[in-house]
Amino acid sequence: MLAKANRITSADDYRVVVRKGVKVARAHTVSYVRSRESGAAPRFGFIVSKKVGTAVQRNLVRRRLKAICLEAIVDGGVHGVDVVVRALPGSADAEWPVLRAEVLAALDRQMRGAVNA
């Protein structure tokens, strides 16, 4: 589970990241990445609408996305960013490696310095 320091909890923070962050669209997810001060703990937020599926399917997708982000934190390569991941309707049918690759690709763009928002 993501620690409280690694979660985006306020609606204002979600809004800022989605509006001012760099958008990385993939087949099953759309990620918004916004840089913060260097060395700050990364924060993640998730948007999984009812279009994804039933409550069980939405929670499964959200848990998978959280696990991917936790993995990125533990590996130590992600810092100083806010990330909001929006799950698209097809994400409920996506395999774990596909979702993982999509989210990590968005984070990789940040680590290469592509995100300067």
CATH code (residue 107): 3.30.230.10
φ, ψ at 21 (rounded to 5°):
-80, 165
pLDDT tens-digit map of 17-63: 999 999 999 999 999 999 988 778 999 999 999 999 999 999 999 99
On whether residue 53 sits in a domain, the answer given is: yes
On whether residue 88 sits in a domain, the answer given is: yes
Residue 69's pLDDT is what?
Answer: 94
On whether residue 42 sits in a domain, the answer given is: yes
**Domain containing residue 34:** 4-111
Residue 22's pLDDT is what?
Answer: 92
pLDDT tens-digit map of 54-85: 999 999 999 999 999 999 999 877 888 999 99
Residue 80's pLDDT is what?
Answer: 87
On whether residue 34 sits in a domain, the answer given is: yes
